[in-house]
Amino acid sequence: MDSTLIGYINIFVLAVFIGFEIIAKVPPLLHTPLMSGSNAISGITVVGALLIAGIGSQGQDATVSKILGLAALILATINVVGGFMVTDRMLEMFKKDKEKDKPGKEEKK
């Protein structure tokens, strides 16, 4: 294996551990606002994954680069879509119920 590839794998593994430790220590009340902010970061990750899969796939490790780029693209896309779904669900919780606000309607108990 090339020493550059081993270095990249080491950085990836360290990033996974650091990211897990940071997210694990966030209180549950802050998860949704952080998810909204992380959508922008995940969008940048999608662009980076496209670059890795496309431009970075030249040379000796082209197959490895394409596989890692595709995996990064799939995971980042799942993260972006999931983040928007969580944010949308959170925003729905803050909307007033239209039926309760109509005059003449009594609340059912």
User: Per the domain annotation, does 72 fall within a domain?
Assistant: yes
3-state secondary structure labels for all residues of 44-99: HHHHHHHHHHHCCCCCCCHHHHHHHHHHHHHHHHHHHHHHHHHHHHHHHHHCCCHH
Query: How many folded domains does the chain comprise?
Result: 1
Give the Cα separation of 51 and 31 in Å (integer): 29
Structure tokens belonging to residue 36? 């909204």
User: Per the domain annotation, does 107 fall within a domain?
Assistant: no
Mean local confidence (pLDDT), 43-70: 77
Cβ(42)–Cβ(29) below 8 Å:
no
pTM: 0.54
pLDDT in tens, 67-105: 888 888 898 888 888 878 877 787 787 777 665 556 665
Q: What pLDDT does 26 receive?
A: 72
- What domain range includes position 83? 30-90
